Amino acid sequence: MIGYPNGKVRTVQCPAAVKQSAGRRGMSLEHDLNLSNEYYLQTDRAVIHKKPTPLQIVTVDYPKRSAAKITEAYFKVPSTTDYNGVYRGKAIDFEAKETRSRTSFPFSSLHPHQVDHLERVIRHGAIAFVIVRFVLLDETYYVEAGKIAAQYRHSGRKSLPYSWFQQEGILIPFSLTPPVNYLRVIDELYFKEK
Amino acid sequence: MIGYPNGKVRTVQCPAAVKQSAGRRGMSLEHDLNLSNEYYLQTDRAVIHKKPTPLQIVTVDYPKRSAAKITEAYFKVPSTTDYNGVYRGKAIDFEAKETRSRTSFPFSSLHPHQVDHLERVIRHGAIAFVIVRFVLLDETYYVEAGKIAAQYRHSGRKSLPYSWFQQEGILIPFSLTPPVNYLRVIDELYFKEK
């Protein structure tokens, strides 16, 4: 059992699942996206960063001769997505989520504010999407934000089945550099020469 | 005397200066920009947010039946600018700085990483700028990031004189809603009908 926010616990996944996930590399989607964004930055392809985690800072100590130390702070619910930046002149905005389900992606992973935010940035001309990784299937999908927002608003469902991602999403093939090459999908969707 | 990070102190400004600054409203540039961005959001003109302050989280407590509490964290040097978003299809990226000098803006207010970042996002097609407020003069300037980066790199100076802002910057007139209407400057610079 692993301690978790709010005193909740989650059970450790079964050894088979651990093995499967570690089979490739066992790295989190966030880790892979950080590496990918760093790669895009170093090769000057795009400037895309993860935003810092929003915190409510309550108490800060200012000890003499050393750095200011935050001694009380809390996590805040994010009002925007985690990643944004600029690519080929376009604003890029996306959220990334992992699920350990093999059958569906629960809408509860997305905060309502994040869906509002995605709809807003689409309206203002950004390229907006959600990257969803089915951890146990080792598959990572690019989904246009408009599609997922429409399902979130109108489907009446609490989750999106895996088959929906197979139909409506675009599988991002695993590569080494970068691990999650989502710009290739964007090139295909938005910059393909006609 | 007011306690400050690293055990440094800053002297409280003289009563005349307080009066002048409070004459308008005495609000910080950050406060004014948050109000302005909120106004743009509410009126659906643009989606621009301040990024959360980057922190290095060291220790988190997970008390039962209450929210996770961060008990040790430190401020990190930002590697990007504070504000970004999307407006009229373009990526927007900027930094905002106040100075209490009446004569110049010290380059030490900008982190080298922030200047690198501004140059990068310009290269990739964002609208990038710096908003500088001369607090005691009660003047807020919009400066194209390319201009300020060129001075930062090549002027050999440690600060930019106030007169440079008068010549090269664009004074943002104070308004009530929003307090700092920088989108009007962007409209003028980038979207003026020919």
Give the type of residue at A117: H
Do the beta carbons of residue B9 and residue B2 sit within 8 Å?
A: yes
Tell me whether residues A86 and B89 touch, CB distance under 8 A.
no
Measured in angstroms, the CA of A129 and the nearest CA of chain B are apart by 15
Residue B43 has pLDDT above 70, yes or no: yes
Residue A2 has pLDDT above 70, yes or no: no
Measured in angstroms, the CA of A90 and the nearest CA of chain B are apart by 6
Partners of residue B61 on adjacent β-strands: B69
For residue A93, list chain B residues with Cβ-Cβ distance below 8 A: 86
A186 has a chain B CB within 8 A of its CB: no
Residue B30 has pLDDT above 70, yes or no: yes
B44 has a chain A CB within 8 A of its CB: yes
Take residue A63 and report the two structure tokens written for it. 């000890």
Which residue among B51, B69, B74 sits closest to A69, beta carbon to beta carbon?
A: B74
Residue B158 has pLDDT above 80, yes or no: yes
Q: What one-character-per-residue DSSP string does B68-134 give?
A: -EEEEEEE---SS-SEEEEETTEEEEEEEEEE--SSEEEGGGS-HHHHHHHHHHHHTT-EEEEEEEE
More confident residue, B14 or A48: A48
Query: What's residue B99's pLDDT?
Result: 96
B85 has a chain A CB within 8 A of its CB: yes
The DSSP secondary-structure symbol of B141 reads E
Contacts 24+ apart (CB under 8 A), A6-9: A6/B62, A6/B65, A6/B66, A6/B67, A6/B68, A7/B62, A7/B63, A7/B64, A7/B65, A7/B66
For chain B, helix, strand, coil in percent to 5 are 35, 30, 30
- Please state the length of chain B: 194
Partners of residue B133 on adjacent β-strands: B98, B140
B44 three-class SS? coil
Measured in angstroms, the CA of A137 and the nearest CA of chain B are apart by 30
Residue B21 has pLDDT above 50, yes or no: no
Instruction: Find the mean pLDDT for residues B72-77.
Output: 92
Tell me whether residues B91 and A90 touch, CB distance under 8 A.
yes
Take residue B41 and report the two structure tokens written for it. 């959001």
Size of interface A-B (CB pairs under 8 A): 144
Tell me whether residues B7 and A87 touch, CB distance under 8 A.
no
A83 three-class SS? strand
Instruction: Find the mean pLDDT for residues B176-188.
Output: 95
Do the beta carbons of residue A105 and residue A70 sit within 8 Å?
A: no
Take residue B157 and report the two structure tokens written for it. 């100076």
Measured in angstroms, the CA of B129 and the nearest CA of chain A are apart by 15
Q: How far apart are CA B134 and CA A171, in angstroms?
A: 51
Q: Sorting pLDDT into bands at 50, 70 and 90, what band is A194?
A: low
State the average pLDDT for chain B. Answer: 87
The torsion angle over the Cα atoms of residues A24, A25, A29 and A33, rounded to 10 degrees, is -110
Residue B25 has pLDDT above 60, yes or no: no
Take residue A169 and report the two structure tokens written for it. 């999403």
Do the beta carbons of residue A109 and residue A89 sit within 8 Å?
A: no
Measured in angstroms, the CA of B74 and the nearest CA of chain A are apart by 5
Interhelix angle B112-123/B145-154, rounded to 10 degrees, is 130
Residue A12 has pLDDT above 50, yes or no: no
B135 three-class SS? helix
Take residue B27 and report the two structure tokens written for it. 């609000």
A88 has a chain B CB within 8 A of its CB: yes
Residue A64 has pLDDT above 90, yes or no: no
Provide the sign of the torsion angle of the four alpha carbons A62, A63, A67, A73, taken in this order: negative
Q: How far apart are CA B9 and CA B1, in angstroms?
A: 6
**Chain B residue with minimum CA distance to A52:** B54
For residue B69, list chain A residues with Cβ-Cβ distance below 8 A: 72-74
Q: A interface mutation test: which of B34, B37, B42, B47 has the most A CBs within 10 A?
A: B47
Tell me whether residues A47 and B125 touch, CB distance under 8 A.
no
Do the beta carbons of residue A35 and residue A178 sit within 8 Å?
A: yes
Do the beta carbons of residue B70 and residue A57 sit within 8 Å?
A: no
Residue B145 has pLDDT above 90, yes or no: yes
For residue B64, list chain A residues with Cβ-Cβ distance below 8 A: 7
Q: Radius of gyration (Cα) for chain B, nearest Å?
A: 18
Task: Compute CA distances A75 → A56, A80, A99, whole Å.
Answer: 6, 14, 21
